[in-house]
Structures are given as structure tokens and as C-alpha cells.
């Protein structure tokens, strides 16, 4: 059927030369009117006299709905935001400004702030009148973390840096150009954690008074000992006198060391080599100094395990500390099961089995999805 050009009168308005295709359904024509008038097709009533002829005038009745109001707040896209707006929108943690080779300190503070229990402990930490160097560090960290909780923009940790340098003057050393010298982040970590160990008690944290399996807990234990301290079961065996009795002892540790030797390419290998060492000590059987093999196994794992990459060594000829730039690969999820004692491994087995089942299910679901995609493309 032909196409007609018609006129539509709606109230005081008139729309001329609207194409009306007789082959289309009425809803198509109403859709054209909706685009012109804003009246929903369900609310339209179209009237005409006689048959449809070219140039005929239709009468349409119906009221248009109110247009949606413009949003009160303009939509802002991520690419249009500045650093402050982006940090607020994505709820990013606040950064710390580099005050001149102070990245070692910033990294230490950010790692410690990632421990929820430590943040809660600092919130409830009471300040003593008798200020020790350890208390000064703890107070400065408490003030800095409180400030970081209030804003999302970068913060200048100048006050904490001043307290750190007053407590440990070596961090205040400057080079020839007057800038702060580069420092080892592990040295800063060790000193700060030691200060926290001296000033933070266990009273701020809910812990059972009786020792539970796989943990050492007591009402007087320090916070750092509870959450960041582990224990080694050490076996000492004389290499020169096989008949000498093997001695066993327990040693505490607050971090594991990954020694970067020539054959070490992965962190796991570096950790294992650090648990086996040869030392010289007095042998009661031989009546002189002898070589001993010291083997250590983890008997208690801390809640937060710190690992040090031993990248610095001392050059005797130049009398300077040199840095090892060798690339050592490390996993995002570290499994230290092989480094533990048999007793601790037995306690870890149920959790490991449950985790393995979850990982197997996840891998199976991913393989099903991958297979469905392959089948789809094969059929296509």
C-alpha cells in the first residue's frame, strides 16, 4: 500500500507532512507522534474523518508526561577526576608524601597500618606521663594513623619522621647535597616493631588466657608477640662428633630472612637456606670449638609473617654496604607448610584440605566456563 503525507493537529500545535505508511501497524504511527509530541502511545487518541487520503488532517488528543528532571549532581567520570576526587571515589587509602628518600619509612608505616588489630590497639592505647623513646614512636604513629583515618589525600609524615630521627639518629644522616641518605626499610621496620613491642601490651586485645593449639597465649603477652611473633624449634648437631647428644631449644623470631645467594631464584629456596646454617661453638665432648649444624623449623606461626629479602652485604675492601640487584620471584600466596615442624603440620592439615577443596571447585568451574566458550566458537 502507498505512503501518505498527512497533517496532525494536537491542541494548538500542528505537524505537517508526516509520512504514514499504510503497511505499518498503528503503533508505528503512534511512535512517530510520540517522538514529535512526547505523548505516550498508550495515552494517544487519534481521530480522522472519512478515508485516509493524501494531505488529510488527523486530530490527536492526549497529554504529554512531564520530562525527567535533570540530575542535581552532574555525572563525573573517572578520567575527569583529579587525584583527590579519584581517591575519594575509589575509597583508596591515603598516601604518605616522600620527604626526600623517606620511602623506606612510608613503606614501613603503610605495611603496619594494613594490620587491623594494630590499628584497633593504637586507638585504645593510653598515653603514659613517663615518655620513653618507644612510647614516643608509638604516640607519633597513633597520631599519624588517626589523621590518615580522617582524610583520603596524601599526608606529610613530617612529625613521625622527626620523632624517628630523634630516636634513631642514623635515619637523619644526610649526603653531600644536603638530602637525607637512603636507608634500609628492614632496619626501619625492625626498630619500629621493637618500639611497638615495648609499649603495646596485650590488654587492648581480646585473647584467651589459656594456650590453644598452634598458638602461645597468656594474659601478659605483648601485642607484637601475639600477632607478629613466631617460634623456632632448633636442633643443634655437632658435625665433628657424631656421638655427641643433639641439643634442642626454642627460639623466638619476628621475621624470616630470604638470603639471596647465587643459586637462589625463588623466595621459598631462600627461606629454606636460611633455616639451615653452620656455626662454630664450644663442644663439651671435644673440649674445643667445633662445627655445628643448626636446623630450625617453625613451631608457631604468627598471624602476620614478615619476610626480609637480605639484599645488602658488607664489602670489606671498600668498607661499604653493597646491594644485591638479583631478581627473586615470590608467590602472591606464600605456603610455609614445608618449613614447619611435624606437630604444627598436623594442625595445619584440616585447614589446608578445606582450602584445597575450595580451590579445586573454583578450578573446575573455570574449566567448565572455558570449555563452553570453546564449544561456542567451534559451533560458530
pLDDT of residue 373: 53
Lowest mean pLDDT among 28-32, 56-60, 135-139: 56-60
Please report, for the domain that includes residue 195, its CATH number: 3.90.70.10
Please report, for the domain that includes residue 12, its CATH number: 3.10.20.90
pLDDT surpassing 50 at residue 166: yes
pLDDT surpassing 80 at residue 268: yes
Of 209 and 195, the one with more pLDDT: 195
Number of domains in the chain: 3
Would you say residue 361 lies in a domain?
no
Looking at the fold, whether 54 and 83 belong to one and the same domain comes out as no
Would you say residue 371 lies in a domain?
no
pLDDT surpassing 70 at residue 17: yes
Looking at the fold, whether 145 and 234 belong to one and the same domain comes out as no
Would you say residue 363 lies in a domain?
no
Looking at the fold, whether 179 and 94 belong to one and the same domain comes out as yes
DSSP state of 328: -
Q: What's the pLDDT band for 217 if we cut at 50, 70, 90?
A: very low
Would you say residue 320 lies in a domain?
yes
pLDDT of residue 227: 93
pLDDT of residue 59: 65
Q: Are 160 and 140 contacting, i.e. CB atoms less than 8 angstroms apart?
A: yes
Question: From CA 92, how far away is CA 271, in angstroms rounded?
Answer: 33
pLDDT surpassing 90 at residue 50: no
Looking at the fold, whether 148 and 258 belong to one and the same domain comes out as no
Nearest to 39 by CA among 16, 13, 57: 13
Of 236 and 371, the one with more pLDDT: 236
Q: What's the pLDDT band for 48 if we cut at 50, 70, 90?
A: confident
Q: Are 237 and 292 contacting, i.e. CB atoms less than 8 angstroms apart?
A: yes
Would you say residue 24 lies in a domain?
yes
Burial per residue of 79-97, b for 16 or more beta-carbon CB atoms within 10 angstroms, e otherwise: eeeeeeeebeeeeeebebe
Q: What's the pLDDT band for 375 if we cut at 50, 70, 90?
A: low
pLDDT surpassing 70 at residue 125: yes
Looking at the fold, whether 109 and 198 belong to one and the same domain comes out as yes
Looking at the fold, whether 252 and 278 belong to one and the same domain comes out as yes
Of 15 and 316, the one with more pLDDT: 15
Strands (E), the chain: 3-10, 13-21, 45-47, 57-61, 230-238, 247-253, 256-259, 276-283, 288-300, 307-310, 312-315, 320-323
Looking at the fold, whether 176 and 118 belong to one and the same domain comes out as yes
Looking at the fold, whether 157 and 40 belong to one and the same domain comes out as no
DSSP state of 50: S
pLDDT of residue 219: 40
pLDDT surpassing 60 at residue 122: yes
Of 352 and 160, the one with more pLDDT: 160
Question: From CA 212, how far away is CA 215, in angstroms rounded?
Answer: 6
Looking at the fold, whether 99 and 148 belong to one and the same domain comes out as yes
Would you say residue 287 lies in a domain?
yes
In tens, the pLDDT along 181-206 reads 989 899 999 999 999 998 887 444 44
CA-angle at 150, arms to 149 and 153, nearest 5°: 95
Question: From CA 145, how far away is CA 115, in angstroms rounded?
Answer: 12
Question: From CA 254, how far away is CA 230, in angstroms rounded?
Answer: 6
Of 90 and 331, the one with more pLDDT: 331
Would you say residue 40 lies in a domain?
yes
pLDDT of residue 371: 58
Looking at the fold, whether 106 and 191 belong to one and the same domain comes out as yes
Question: From CA 230, how far away is CA 130, in angstroms rounded?
Answer: 30
Nearest to 157 by CA among 140, 171, 132, 169: 140
CA-angle at 34, arms to 32 and 36, nearest 5°: 75
Q: What's the pLDDT band for 52 if we cut at 50, 70, 90?
A: low
The predicted model gives 8-13 an average pLDDT of: 82
Looking at the fold, whether 50 and 162 belong to one and the same domain comes out as no
pLDDT of residue 312: 74
Question: From CA 307, how far away is CA 187, in angstroms rounded?
Answer: 13
pLDDT of residue 102: 94
Torsion of Cα atoms, 135 then 140 then 141 then 145, to 10°? 140
DSSP state of 78: G
Question: From CA 20, how far away is CA 201, in angstroms rounded?
Answer: 85
Q: Cβ contacts of residue 125 below 8 Å, gap of 6+?
A: 138, 142, 199, 200, 204
pLDDT of residue 242: 83
Helix 133-150 / helix 103-113 crossing angle, nearest 10 deg: 70
Q: Are 239 and 278 contacting, i.e. CB atoms less than 8 angstroms apart?
A: yes
Looking at the fold, whether 200 and 86 belong to one and the same domain comes out as yes
Domain that holds residue 242: 229-350
Phi-psi region of 100 (alpha: psi -120 to 50; beta: other; left: phi over 0): left
pLDDT surpassing 60 at residue 358: yes
Average pLDDT, the chain: 82
Q: Are 55 and 5 contacting, i.e. CB atoms less than 8 angstroms apart?
A: yes
Would you say residue 125 lies in a domain?
yes
pLDDT surpassing 80 at residue 150: yes
Q: Are 260 and 328 contacting, i.e. CB atoms less than 8 angstroms apart?
A: yes
pTM confidence score: 0.68
Amino acid at each position: 500500500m502507498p505512503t501518505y503525507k498527512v497533517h496532525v493537529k494536537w491542541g494548538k500545535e500542528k505537524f505537517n507532512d508526516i509520512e504514514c505508511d499504510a503497511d505499518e501497524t498503528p503503533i508505528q504511527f503512534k511512535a512517530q507522534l510520540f517522538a514529535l509530541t512526547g505523548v505516550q502511545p498508550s495515552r494517544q487518541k487519534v481521530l480522522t474523518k472519512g478515508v485516509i487520503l493524501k494531505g488529510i488532517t488527523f486530530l490527536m488528543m492526549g497529554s504529554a508526561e512531564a520530562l525527567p528532571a535533570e540530575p542535581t549532581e552532574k555525572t563525573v567520570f573517572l578520567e575527569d577526576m583529579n587525584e583527590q576526587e579519584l581517591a575519594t571515589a575509589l575509597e583508596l587509602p591515603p598516601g604518605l608524601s616522600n620527604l626526600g628518600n623517606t620511602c623506606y619509612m612510608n613503606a614501613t608505616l603503610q605495611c603496619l597500618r594494613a594490620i587491623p588489630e594494630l590499628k584497633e590497639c593504637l586507638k585504645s592505647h593510653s598515653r603514659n606521663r613517663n615518655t620513653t623513646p618507644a612510647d614516643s614512636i608509638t604516640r607519633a604513629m597513633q597520631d599519624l594513623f588517626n589523621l590518615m583515618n580522617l582524610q583520603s589525600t596524601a599526608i606529610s609524615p613530617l612529625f613521625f619522621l622527626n620523632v624517628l630521627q630523634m630516636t634513631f639518629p642514623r635515619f637523619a644522616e644526610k649526603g653531600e647535597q644536603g638530602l637525607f641518605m637512603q636507608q634500609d626499610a628492614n632496619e626501619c621496620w625492625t626498630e619500629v616493631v621493637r618500639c611497638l613491642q615495648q609499649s603495646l601490651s596485650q590488654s587492648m586485645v581480646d585473647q584467651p588466657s589459656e594456650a590453644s593449639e598452634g598458638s602461645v597465649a597468656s594474659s601478659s603477652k605483648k601485642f607484637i608477640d601475639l600477632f607478629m611473633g613466631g617460634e623456632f624449634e632448633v636442633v643443634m648437631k655437632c658435625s665433628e662428633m657424631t656421638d655427641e647428644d643433639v641439643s634442642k631449644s626454642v627460639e623466638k623470631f619476628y621475621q624470616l630472612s630470604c638470603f639471596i645467594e647465587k643459586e637462589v631464584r625463588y623466595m621459598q629456596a631462600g627461606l629454606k637456606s636460611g633455616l639451615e646454617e653452620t656455626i662454630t661453638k664450644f663442644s663439651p665432648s671435644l673440649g674445643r670449638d667445633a662445627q655445628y649444624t643448626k636446623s630450625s623449623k617453625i613451631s608457631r606461626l604468627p598471624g602476620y609473617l614478615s619476610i626480609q629479602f637480605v639484599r645488602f652485604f658488607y664489602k670489606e675492601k671498600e668498607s661499604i654496604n653493597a646491594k644485591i640487584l638479583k631478581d627473586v620471584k615470590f608467590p602472591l600466596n606464600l605456603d610455609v607448610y614445608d618449613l614447619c615442624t611435624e606437630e604444627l603440620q598436623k594442625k595445619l592439615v584440616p585447614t589446608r584440605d578445606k582450602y584445597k577443596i575450595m580451590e579445586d571447585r573454583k578450578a573446575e568451574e573455570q574449566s567448565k566456563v572455558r570449555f563452553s566458550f570453546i564449544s561456542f566458537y567451534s559451533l560458530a
